[in-house]
Chain A
Amino acid sequence: MKVTNRIKEIRLAKGISQVEMAEALQITRQTINAVEKHKYNPSLELALKMIKYFNVPIEELFTLEEDTK
């Protein structure tokens, strides 16, 4: 099962840059890039921080894609 997210979409809709988000969440810009490209799944702590930062429900930010097999 794969975790997908809409972080880039929501971030751009709110007009927030990667550097601004990195400063606010105290993470590196590379991590934001990796999460947005689905190359890295954030920890529960970081995921909760992101939800709080964007002020959106968890299901709007992260989705668990079920395997088709």
Chain B
Amino acid sequence: MKNLQYLAWGFIVVCMGVGILIAKWMIPDLSWSAVAASIGGTVAGVGLVAAVAKIREMKKRDHVPDVDERTWNNMKNFYAAALYFVLIGSMAVVIVLVGLGHETIELGAISLYLLFLFMILAIGSFIVKRA
């Protein structure tokens, strides 16, 4: 189980690294220093989260698990509800943009919107896990 956890952390770092390299491939003007900073930031960020998780685990005095069947049920319900909010919200945004006279959406704007969605979903998952 521990190995799987380390594998998951590694997989996340590799995926984010590949994403940054794809960004460099798509945007040739992106400097290598920015790419290096992004990869460094990714490794540092994931490392920080992993370190905090490890410290919390070491401080824990009991052997009570962090998640159980109720947590997974709550997560499933949260994502089922979030799906509708995301779909309806996205549709509403498109309708508003069309109403304002926009005919195209920049990829940058979409990526920012997706980043915002992921952040909201991550915060929501964290709250649901704790409830």
Residues in chain A within 8 A of chain B (CB atoms): 19, 22-23, 26-31, 34, 40, 42-43, 45-46
Q: How far is the CB of B129 from chain A (nearest CB, A)?
A: 10
**Interface residues of A: mostly helix, strand, loop or mixed?**
helix
Q: A40-B70, A43-B69 are in contact. List 8 more A-B contacts (CB 8 A).
A: A22-B65, A23-B62, A23-B63, A23-B64, A28-B65, A30-B70, A31-B69, A42-B69
Q: Is the CB–CB distance between B70 and A28 below 8 Å?
A: yes
Rounded to whole angstroms, the CA-CA distance of A27 and B71 in the bound complex is 10
- Complex: chain A residue closest to B61, CB-CB: A19
Q: Is the CB–CB distance between B70 and A26 below 8 Å?
A: no
Rounded to whole angstroms, the CA-CA distance of A43 and B65 in the bound complex is 17
Q: List, sorted by A's number, 30 A–B pairs whose CB atoms are closer than 8 Å.
A: A19-B62, A19-B64, A22-B62, A22-B64, A22-B65, A23-B62, A23-B63, A23-B64, A26-B68, A27-B65, A27-B68, A27-B69, A27-B70, A28-B64, A28-B65, A28-B67, A28-B68, A28-B70, A28-B71, A29-B64, A30-B70, A30-B131, A31-B68, A31-B69, A31-B71, A34-B70, A40-B70, A42-B69, A43-B69, A45-B69
Q: Is the CB–CB distance between B62 and A31 below 8 Å?
A: no
Q: How far is the CB of B113 from chain A (nearest CB, A)?
A: 33
Which of B65, B71, B131 is A26 in contact with, Cβ under 8 Å?
B65
Residues of B within 8 A of A43 (CB): 69
Residues of B within 8 A of A30 (CB): 70, 131
Residues of A within 8 A of B62 (CB): 19, 22-23
Residues of A within 8 A of B106 (CB): none
Whether B29 sits at the interface, judged by CB under 8 Å, is no
Q: How far is the CB of B20 from chain A (nearest CB, A)?
A: 36
